[in-house]
Copies of this chain bind each other. A is one copy, B any other.
Amino acid sequence: MPPTDSTSLRERKKTETWHAIHDAAAELALDDDTKHVTVEAIASEAGISQRTFFNYFPTKEDAILGVRTPTVPELPEGFLANDGLIERTTELLLTVGRSTYAEGDADRRSRLFEKFPHLLLRRREMMIEGEDLVYQAIATAMADHPEWSAGLNGHSVESAARMLTMAAGVPLRYLLVSGGMPGARLETDSLTTALDLYQDLYRKLS
| Binary per-residue interface labels of chain A (1-22) against chain B in the complex, 1 for a CB within 8 Å, 0 otherwise | 0000000010000000000000
Query: How far, in Å, is A54 (CB) from chain B's closest CB?
Result: 15
Q: A9 contacts which chain B residues (CB < 8 A)?
A: 48-49
Complex Cα gap A9–B45 (Å):
12
What total of chain A residues lie within 8 Å of the partner, measured CB to CB?
A: 3
Complex Cα gap A9–B46 (Å):
12
Q: A49 contacts which chain B residues (CB < 8 A)?
A: 9
Query: How far, in Å, is A47 (CB) from chain B's closest CB?
Result: 8
Complex Cα gap A55–B49 (Å):
22
| Binary per-residue interface labels of chain A (36-66) against chain B in the complex, 1 for a CB within 8 Å, 0 otherwise | 0000000000001100000000000000000
Query: How far, in Å, is A44 (CB) from chain B's closest CB?
Result: 9
Q: A48 contacts which chain B residues (CB < 8 A)?
A: 9
Complex Cα gap A13–B148 (Å):
55
Name the residue on B nearest A43 (C-beta): B9
Complex Cα gap A49–B49 (Å):
21
Complex Cα gap A48–B49 (Å):
19
Query: How far, in Å, is A21 (CB) from chain B's closest CB?
Result: 14
Name the residue on B nearest A16 (C-beta): B47
Query: How far, in Å, is A189 (CB) from chain B's closest CB?
Result: 38
A interface residues with partner B (beta carbon < 8 Å): 9, 48-49
